[in-house]
Amino acid sequence: MKTDIIKYDFKPGLLQEFEIVDLAKLYTEFEDILTSTHRANFYHVIWFQKGNPTHMVDFNPITISPNTLLFINKDTVQRFDNKTKFDGKAILFTDRFFCKTENDIKYLKETILFNDLFTISQIQVQNQLKIFSELFQQITDELLNDKDNSQFDILQNLLHNLLLYSERERRKQNFTEIKKGADLDYVLIFKDLLEANYKNQKQVNFYAKQIIITEKRLNQATSKVLGKTPKEIIDNRILLEAKRILAHTTESVKEIAFHLGFEEPTNFIKYFKKHTSVTPTEFREKNT
């Protein structure tokens, strides 16, 4: 029985958890994997250079045009197009590779590329094609050099530069900037806590206590930044995981209920129908 969405770890045997791959070659070797729903425990920077595929992220189809850079956070549920031809490159890397310092950790947690609170980040690079082509080529060339004590730092710096240039372009392309301050800080902390605890902690007061603020203050922050209450955000995260498992596995409704921290399957069924207007079984039948 398929009891969970397939999850892939970074390729073993590399000196560092970082690589740049050709999409056409990757497709030749791993088409079945790429076009099946899966998660990966590493980050993707995908440059679709040719073609107009539709990239699925959870239940959201992302229409791609040539020379689009798409940024996929680790553990995101995704699926590549299996009907449309396309070509390009992808940079894959892990926290272990990028995060040499506390500032690196902070950057990855806060960058708008992997943490856009409203959408999956993508940019069009036509106007800066020379810069991005050169950065990708520099990374490719460095990986071909003999391994020495400097290579890790050079690759990390080149990647960081690529991300910084990408952030600059993202802000030029219909991006809604969220004002930095306490509200955004609280939302980002809440987001991290929720990701780690949503299966077992469904009450707002738990998260408020962890952040060391009142429920009212947390509500003010999420309402101002996201236009949603903390309870709505918790419910949305639980429902997203429920939908993922229902659509992409054969796990029973009872197993899903226990997996998501519900003491009784009937409680999960009522909860799911209250928020989606359909039962888990009905959702599965429509989305399998």
pLDDT tens profile 241-266: 999 999 999 999 999 999 999 999 99
When divided into structural domains, the chain yields a total of 2
Confidence of residue 116 (pLDDT cuts 50, 70, 90): confident
Rounded to two decimals, what is the model's pTM? 0.89
- State whether 163 and 188 are in the same domain: no
**Domain final residue, candidates 149, 172, 195:** 172
Residue 178 corresponds to which tokens in the numbers above? 């969220």
- Domain for residue 177, yes or no? no
Same domain, 74 and 19: yes
Chosen domain end from 144, 172, 200: 172
Strand-pair partners of 61 = 56
Q: Are residues 33 and 153 in the same domain?
A: yes
* Rounded distance between C-alpha atoms, residue 276 and residue 58, angstroms: 16
| Triad 173, 175, 181: Cα angle to 5° | 145
Are 257 and 267 spatial neighbours (Cβ–Cβ below 8 Å)? yes
In a domain, 264, yes or no: yes
Please determine, for residue 125, whether its predicted confidence score (pLDDT) is greater than 50: yes
Decide if 110 is inside a domain: yes
Q: Are residues 238 and 272 in the same domain?
A: yes
Does residue 204 share a domain with residue 166? Answer: no
Q: Identify the CATH number of the domain in which residue 188 sits.
A: 1.10.10.60
The reply to whether 1 falls in a domain is: no
Question: Does 29 share its domain with 143?
Answer: yes
Query: Which CATH number characterizes residue 100's domain?
Result: 2.60.120.280
* Together in a domain, 134 and 195: no
pLDDT band at 225, cuts 50/70/90? very high
Task: Tell me, yes or no, whether 126 and 211 share the same domain.
Answer: no
pLDDT value for 4: 67
* Domain range enclosing 13: 6-172
Q: How many CB atoms lie within 10 A of CB 165?
A: 17
Is 238 among the domain residues?
yes
pLDDT confidence of residue 31: 87
Based on the fold, state whether residues 159 and 254 are members of the same structural domain.
Answer: no
pLDDT band per the 50, 70, 90 thresholds, residue 86: very high
Same domain, 199 and 133: no
For residues 114 and 39, membership in a common domain is answered with: yes
User: Pick from 138, 172, 206: which residue ends a domain?
Assistant: 172
Both 155 and 202 in one domain: the answer is: no
Which residue in the block uniquely carries the two structure tokens 């236009």?
227
Where does the chain show beta strands of DSSP type E? 6-8, 18-22, 38-40, 43-50, 54-57, 60-63, 68-72, 78-79, 87-93, 122-124
